[in-house]
């Protein structure tokens, strides 16, 4: 299956939190969307890998994804290695996504920023004809970086997800093990940022929504210059 849009992230639930609204919106517009989770999140304090796979499948149905897969790479040990790059490149060739969303290349969690670099290099390698993996050489046309987790980055643009916000919320809450924990897990002495993570990403969505004149939006960064054909019809008021 060829995808129009593929989001790749380190752990199940990362995509829902960072660009879930955009995936929902693109699926509603008729685009074929997919998610590639690199790990099963087995090092997480809450839930089991099996639970998280089940929750990811439920979230995929809510978001209207055409495809979702998990590479099963080691959680908390993602690195930019040849083996991992080839594994991601094989999926790029299989699904041939036009646009790919990756995690921003800097951040607090090593898995997140390593995933951004690992997957960028995999997208490049997938276009090398002599690469020793199955499938025809292919490279995505566009690579976007989600900056939701890093409020210090000024994004290149933001996507209005106001109409998709409630469905994104349902997709996030599909991860009951993470966001609706049992009392014993909730009272753990270990500080778990998940306790306020959804509130944080919702505040980020509200912030960027205000910046583009809507209620909620998700921010993205691109490395290249964006092209505009009609400067008279550009959205977002300046004054």
- Residue 191 confidence (pLDDT): 46
CA neighbor of 5 nearest in space, from 13, 137, 173, 20: 20
| Strand ranges inside 74-198, DSSP E | 99-103, 142-146, 157-160
Average pLDDT value for the chain: 92
Whether 41 is in a domain gets the answer: yes
| Cα dihedral 106/17/98/81 (nearest 10) | 40
CATH number for the domain that contains residue 180: 3.40.50.10320
Whether 24 is in a domain gets the answer: yes
Whether 38 is in a domain gets the answer: yes
The model's pLDDT over 69-102, given as tens digits with 9 standing for 90+, comes to 999 999 989 999 999 999 999 999 999 999 999 9
Whether 239 is in a domain gets the answer: no
The DSSP code sequence of 59-92 is HHHHHT-SEEEEEEEPTT-----HHHHHHHHHHH
Whether 49 is in a domain gets the answer: yes
- Residue 43 confidence (pLDDT): 73
Count of domains forming the chain: 1
Whether 69 is in a domain gets the answer: yes
pTM summary value: 0.92
- Residue 184 confidence (pLDDT): 47
Write out the residue range of the structural domain in which residue 74 sits. 5-233
- Residue 18 confidence (pLDDT): 96
Whether 238 is in a domain gets the answer: no
Whether 151 is in a domain gets the answer: yes
């Amino acid at each position: 299956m060829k995808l129009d849009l593929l989001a790749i992230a380190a752990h199940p639930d990362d995509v829902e939190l960072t660009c879930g609204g955009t995936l929902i919106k693109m699926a509603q517009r008729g685009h074929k969307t997919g998610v590639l989770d690199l790990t099963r999140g087995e090092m997480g304090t809450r839930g089991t890998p099996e639970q998280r796979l089940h929750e990811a499948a439920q979230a995929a149905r809510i978001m209207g994804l055409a495809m979702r897969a998990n590479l099963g790479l080691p959680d908390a040990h993602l690195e930019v290695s040849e083996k991992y790059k080839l594994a991601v490149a094989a999926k790029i060739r299989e699904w041939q996504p036009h646009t790919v969303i990756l995690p921003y290349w800097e951040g607090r969690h090593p898995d997140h920023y390593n995933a951004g670099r690992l997957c960028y290099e995999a997208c490049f390698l997938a276009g090398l004809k002599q690469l020793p993996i199955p499938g025809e050489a292919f490279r995505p046309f566009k690579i976007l970086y989600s900056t939701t987790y890093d409020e210090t980055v000024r994004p290149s643009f933001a996507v209005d997800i106001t109409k998709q916000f409630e469905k994104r919320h349902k997709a996030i809450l599909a991860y009951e093990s993470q966001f609706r924990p049992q009392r014993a897990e909730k009272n753990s002495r270990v500080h778990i940022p998940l306790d306020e993570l959804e509130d944080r990403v919702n505040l980020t969505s509200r912030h960027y929504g205000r910046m583009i004149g809507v209620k909620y939006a998700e921010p993205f960064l691109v490395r290249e210059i964006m092209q505009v054909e009609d400067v008279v019809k550009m959205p977002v008021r300046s004054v």
